[in-house]
Amino acid sequence: MSTLKFQSQAVAKPYFAFALILFVGQILFGLIMGLQYVVGDFLAGAIPFNVARMVHTNLLIVWLLFGFMGSAYYLVPEEADTELWSPKLAIILFWVFAAAGTATILGYLLVPYSTLAEFTFNELWPTMGREFLEQPTITKIGIVVVALGFLLNLGMTILKGRKTAINMVLMTGLIGLAVFFLFAFYNPENLALDKYFWWFVVHLWVEGVWELIMGAILAYVLIKVTGVDREVIEKWLYVIIAMALISGILGTGHHFYWLTTPEYWQWIGSIFSAIEPLPFFAMVLYAFNMVNRRRREHPNKAATLWALGTSVMAFLGAGVWGFLHTLAPVNYYTHGSQITAAHGHMAFYGAYAMIVMTIISYAMPKLRGIGEANSNKAQVCEMWGFWLMTVAMVFITLFLTGAGILQVWLQRLPESGEALSFMATQDKLALFYWMREVSGVIFLIGLLAYLASFFIGGKETAKVSQ
């Protein structure tokens, strides 16, 4: 018994399931590193900090990519009102990506990074060794192949079907994701130039094209759970993506302050990135407005909660915590401190982890043949997961912000001579790091509660009124 409108939407299921498995891995490595921050030699021989860091951040990116792909395979056919062009291709690419991803992570864990580089002929085309882009060159090529097949599949589906604003915005975001990833293959010898182009991937992803992906997925779920007219939602979506691109593209300048780049970047970066919180704020207004104006009570309360939650947390993490350190005179002091880590955590979780969980929450009951929504019992458990993870992330962010403020205060503000050294400062931050670790354990408990909700049965779902 399936409750899908189109059979081929079912290919999304393995993508979502695998994404969640990798998410667990990401958190475990986060906790290992969090402990290494305060117990320096914890697992030191087996899993050095730099390896754990690479695994933590790469698992994050890969599970989000699986999540985006699953989202697209789920919503594009329904929006286009036609079956997916090739479900078979989608399944083959799933296995290719899953195998390549797993092999790469095992490579990080089992052999020294330099050996991995040698094995994979990095010297022929050196692209390794940069944060988030640590993958061996052949893995990167694999990612491009998977992305091309994925875009082909979606493109052909949209061409033969209905062209909705949501599909167009999602496709633009996904094509942008693939195009900007190509800068990962360009690795100039000059470190400043390397960093300059590195941001073309990292910044233009999270503060550019990924916002289109987020906007499109949010729009889709909001239409489904509120029954509000598509025309209203589409108008909001256009405004949001316009604001995102207008502010985000030149906002890249907030990474060019101290890169030996011309000084005008301090103005351009400060001004344009100061506008970047706007699209995130608009998403909060839009989500709450649509839910308040809803035409129906959708039985999937959990999905509605995720949709509202992602808008708020993305605004706090990206908008508020981003703005906190984005003006050049502030960034002069905070650059590369724990403030950066605080912002990175809440922004990635609030915007991208949560938008993926929003659509998983909406789609999974249908993909699993349960119906419009899970049982009340399962939803309550899922909502416990939501609150535990989200509140834990708020605390992780607050503790890291506390650590960051103290770090700047002790190490960077005092006139030279009185400033503490980096390591002496880190010693003084231990209490914050311990509290971050405790919050991280609570985050893990929340994640486990969330996963447990998939295994809770029960028949009764929320009553649908009207």
Q: Using CB under 6 A as the criterion, which residues of the chain lie in contact with ligand HEM when the complex forms?
A: 27, 30-31, 33-34, 37, 53, 56-57, 60, 131, 206-207, 254-255, 273, 276-277, 314, 318-319, 322-323, 325-326, 331, 335-336, 340-341, 343-345, 347-349, 351, 353, 437, 440, 443
> In 3D, which of 122, 178, 169 has the Cα closest to residue 146?
178
Quote the DSSP letter at residue 15.
H
Separation in Å, CA 71 to CA 213, 243, 287, 338, 373:
9, 23, 18, 32, 17
To ligand HEM, the closest distance from the beta carbon of 331 in angstroms equals 5
**Token pair of 56 as six digits:** 């933590």
On the CB side of 222, CA atoms within 13 Å amount to 33
One-letter amino acid at 190 equals N
277 binds, among ligand HEM, Fe ion, none (CB under 5 to 8 A by kind): ligand HEM
224 binds, among Fe ion, ligand HEM, none (CB under 5 to 8 A by kind): none
Does 345 interact with Fe ion (rule: CB under 5 A)?
A: no
Residues 6+ apart with CB under 8 A from 115: none
Residue number with CB closer to ligand HEM (31 or 193): 31
Quote the DSSP letter at residue 124.
T
Does 203 interact with Fe ion (rule: CB under 5 A)?
A: yes
To Fe ion, the closest distance from the beta carbon of 187 in angstroms equals 20
Does 343 interact with Fe ion (rule: CB under 5 A)?
A: no
Separation in Å, CA 385 to CA 141, 287, 445, 450, 461:
36, 21, 8, 4, 18
Q: How far apart are CA 299 and CA 459, in angstroms?
A: 13
- Surface-to-core class of residue 263, CB atoms within 10 Å of its CB (0-12 exposed, 13-18 middle, 19+ buried): exposed
53 binds, among ligand HEM, Fe ion, none (CB under 5 to 8 A by kind): ligand HEM
Residue number with CB closer to Fe ion (125 or 281): 281
Q: How far apart are CA 332 and CA 270, in angstroms?
A: 12
365 binds, among Fe ion, ligand HEM, none (CB under 5 to 8 A by kind): none
Residue number with CB closer to ligand HEM (134 or 276): 276
To ligand HEM, the closest distance from the beta carbon of 388 in angstroms equals 11
Tell me the residue nearest to ligand HEM as measured from the CB: 322
Site residues (vs Fe ion, CB under 5 A)? 203, 207
